[in-house]
Amino acid sequence: MRRGVAAVCGELRLGAVVWRFVAAVCAGVVGVLLYSGPAAAHGADAPVAVDYVVRVASVSVAGVEVRAVEGGARLELVNRSGREVVVLGLQGEPFLRVSDRGVEENRQSPTWFASRSIGGSAGGGNAAAAPEWHLVAHQPRVRWHDERARELPARAWSVPLLVDGREPGIVRGTVAAVPAPRTGWWWAGGVLGAVVVGLLWRLRTVLAVVAVGGGGVASVWIVQSAVLAASPADGVGVQVLARLWPLVAAVGVVAAGGLSLFKRVDIVVAIAGACLAVMVGVGDSAVFRYGTLAGPSWGRWGVVVALAVGAGLAVAGGLRWYQAAGEHADAGQGDHGPEVGEHADAGQGDHGPEAGEHADAGQGDHGPEAGERTGPGESDHGPQAGEGGERDQAPPESAQPSLGK
């Protein structure tokens, strides 16, 4: 009975731990989804992929180059002309000034406030006010969000310039739709890869290698995306900070995989894998839906690897952890079972002889007394009863009639 109770208690403890683990993973997934928001941050808030392409058709100023970067989220202007080039804003006001001194921003420009986010929702500034120039970079290269050259519908766009304060210039381009990639195939590849990794849950060394490799691929993709999005005003460090948590998840998978070669850290591997799958695999899944990538050209492969490895490690690590927890529970039952038996045997050994001794002693004490009491009783009362019976049955001679007389 006690062994059965111990087994039930062990299963209840194991079940409670499992539910705590599941609750922790679910809470982490919800938090990550709230963090991830739309698609992920590139260039602070640019999406990882879009369904259109921005093309620059011409620039009227010699020595000035303009191109679309980060999937069309921003325009980049490089001034090698040796002249002062001013980018005019949405209301025709001075917005950016690019020269040999570097890049200056007009903090009174309404376009400057709108360019602080990809949606252009920030308000402020005064187009009629005198420019308030602030030097933000020492190189003649600048990137900015421009509502005139972004998003569908397909159309032609232009951005006016002012050269040396007197000569007008213009940048012309187009926005066109881009066909979507084979979204279902990319998702299927990620799920299939996760299943394959999950089936390797018994092979600790193989899982460690997969974790290090998958986390490494995701880390390289994130860092390379940050490098491509960097500009003199927003350096690589700023862009890496914009991708901090996905990068932490990828590096965490690498660390967990390396640690698992020397120590059993299944629960750590499972949680790190889940974070990687959600933060990178799900958070950057826009690369599966849209045709233009903001980061490296191999970005879809990086995301599908993160999804497959992360989800697979979450399953494999969870299975290994559950198995280890069950083994510990069985070991605990094996430890308590003999103790219960020993206590039971000891109880029988302690109380059994005592009970026997007491029983024997009771029989030995009371038996003779009863016999002794019965013996004298028989000797005292038995003859009396016999004598009394004989007296009653045999009348005295004097009382018998004499037939001879």
Q: Residue 170: what pLDDT?
A: 97
DSSP 53: E
Name the residue with tokens 């000034």. 97
Same domain, yes or no: 318 and 216: yes
Domain membership flag for residue 375: no
Domain span at 235: 2-46+179-328
Q: Encode burial over 84-121: b for 16+ CB neighbours within 10 A, e otherwise.
A: bbbbbbbeebbbbbbbeebbbbbebbbbbbbbeebebe
Nearest-angstrom CA–CA distance, 214 and 222: 13
Q: Which of 306, 328, 350 is the last residue of a domain?
A: 328
How do the pLDDT tens digits run along the chain, 405 residues long?
555 545 545 554 545 554 555 555 555 545 544 444 333 333 445 689 999 999 999 999 999 999 999 888 899 999 999 999 999 999 999 999 999 999 999 999 999 988 876 665 557 889 999 999 999 999 999 999 898 998 888 999 999 999 999 999 999 999 999 999 999 999 999 999 999 999 999 999 999 999 999 999 999 999 999 998 888 777 889 889 989 999 999 999 999 999 999 999 999 999 999 999 999 999 999 999 999 999 999 999 999 999 999 999 999 999 999 998 888 777 766 555 555 444 445 445 454 444 444 444 444 444 444 444 444 444 444 444 344 444 444 444 444 444 333
Same domain, yes or no: 208 and 304: yes
Q: Residue 213: what pLDDT?
A: 97
Domain membership flag for residue 334: no
Q: Residue 365: what pLDDT?
A: 47
Please list the residues that pair with 94 across neighbouring strands. 88
Q: Residue 359: what pLDDT?
A: 43
Domain membership flag for residue 383: no
Q: Which pTM value belongs to this model?
A: 0.70
Q: Residue 326: what pLDDT?
A: 82
Total of domains in the chain = 2
Q: Which of 177, 205, 236 is the last residue of a domain?
A: 177
Nearest-angstrom CA–CA distance, 401 and 405: 9
Nearest-angstrom CA–CA distance, 380 and 375: 9
